[in-house]
Amino acid sequence: MGVPFKYLGLEVGGNPRKVKFWEPVLTKLKARLNVWKGRFLSMAGRICLIKSVISAIPLFYLSIFKAPESIYKSIISIQRRFLWGWGKEKRPISWVSWENVCKPKEEGGLGIRDIRKFNYALLAKWRWRIVSEEKGRWKDLLVSKYGMNLDRSLGPVKFQSWWWRDLQKVCTEGEGGGWFHNQLVWKVGGGEKANFWEDVWIGNINLKTLYHRLFSLSLDQGLMVSEVGEWVGAAWRWDLRWRRDRFEWESPLEANLVQLLSQVSPLRGHKDVQTVL
């Protein structure tokens, strides 16, 4: 068997960053539209078909691979033409911007899925399954290749698959650690997985952002919660380390941080669990 090959209608071993990889999807969309003859359908009928069929045809591909920008534009172009009058000899006029068409009905839109956001959401679901407690053979394979901390794994780019690189790219877009990471919060158990400074595990914002000045002075950067303290008998004691003594105006910040930390402590025998804000 050569690579790439077809499995359950999906091309395995191909490069999803190339337009040629997505040609079967576009061909199916165009072929289905030719059968429908949208010019004989009402506006309501075309909207129903876009929601139930056109958005569903590329679902299998979009749930695994990140589509190139040109593919997003091609699919949107097909949807737009079908909505405003497929089958007309002249190019139909788009009376409303596609961005407004994709808004929820409550906001004045038609509730049609934005194909780009839909693709991102489907890929982010894999990332969520990775960072959650879900187990499976597929996850075991990823752990064997990228290490135990899959939610933080970057490693040398040359050893990463196209799928893994695109998954990392999609979820790390935006400020901070990325839109996906910014929506996660740790429920700390033993403290072995949650990063003390950079993860959200106490309150709704990470300590790095809340105490950025103290973070710049800390010797505990990159450490997990369980590594920034120790058990003394049955009690937990925080042990914050600094590069230098704090200035007078920095002392209130440290006191505030210590007071905040005094309200929580790791739990022996429990696992850290990620949830959504």
Higher per-residue pLDDT: 263 or 90: 263
* 3-state secondary structure string across the chain: CCCCEEECCEEECCCCCCHHHHHHHHHHHHHHHHHHCHHHCCHHHHHHHHHHHHCCCCHHHHCCCCCCHHHHHHHHHHHHHHHCCCCCCCCCCCCCCHHHHCCCHHHCCCCCCCHHHHHHHHHHHHHHHHHCCCCCHHHHHHHHHHCCCCCCCCCCHHHCCHHHHHHHHHHCCCCCCCCCHHHEEEECCCCCCCECCCCCCCCCCCHHHHCHHHHHHECCCCCEHHHCEEEECCEEEECCCECCCCCCCCHHHHHHHHHHHCCCCCCCCCCCEEEEC
Mean pLDDT confidence for 155-165: 72
Question: According to the model, what pLDDT value does residue 229 have?
Answer: 94
pLDDT of 156 strictly over 60: no
Report residue 7's pLDDT band, with 50, 70 and 90 as the boundaries.
Answer: confident
Higher per-residue pLDDT: 211 or 64: 211
- Greatest mean pLDDT among 90-94, 108-112, 182-186 lies in 108-112
pLDDT of 153 strictly over 60: no
Mean pLDDT confidence for 60-86: 87
What is the reported pTM? 0.75
